[in-house]
Structure 1
Amino acid sequence: MTPIASDTEMSDLGLAKHLPLVPTCSKGPEGVFIPDENAADNKVAVIYDKGETPPTITISDASACVQTVMANGIAVAVIACSTGPRLSSDDVLLVERFIASPA
């Protein structure tokens, strides 16, 4: 697979460097885990289409240590954690997806 961006280009992007770079257009909400060097600062993001209403985020408990992140009632991420605080919808970052049209 051909790289879309080099490590040098990605080094100054902060959290954005962990978001997926997809060569084709994706549609609809999609969940992303954004790791951090400090595990307590890991993030979950839901990417949604530009111009769409941001999705309503809900969290359901699948078990004592597994939670499902839902965007408009559709599962977009499953998070398993044996320790640490439970997720709430306030913990999920919303990111608007912009797809540039080819020139």
Structure 2
Amino acid sequence: MTDNISAYKFDWPPITVEGYKKAENKVIMVFNLDVRTPAKVDHVIQYVVGRTVWCSLNSPVNVNILLSFDFRGQGIIVTKTQSLKSELLRLLNKANINNQVSIDFLI
């Protein structure tokens, strides 16, 4: 389902990153989103990929992007976060992002 999302091309408003480490050329985006149902996970994937593509296009050249997810209190298991991470990286690769993207989770 998420392979055919036009959200990646939305005219998003300016992004706000939570931090920028100039020495590492790294932006940090923090997401605190509800992923307790499959429908919500699909929505989160759309949103995060769209925002990350927009960040990539509007950040300093060759910036490294850290996506940090705060799932505390949602009872998410580690295997579910690994599945989400794999899907996000697959879709970001398909979107031809030239930036290095890393993902971490607080659970």
**TM tier relative to shorter chain:** 0.3 to 0.5
Q: Which has the higher contact order (CA 8 A, sep 6+)?
A: 2
Greater radius of gyration (CA): 1
Between structures 1 and 2, the one with greater strand share? 1
Per the normalisation by structure 1, the TM-score is 0.32
Per the normalisation by structure 2, the TM-score is 0.32
Between structures 1 and 2, the one with greater helix share? 2
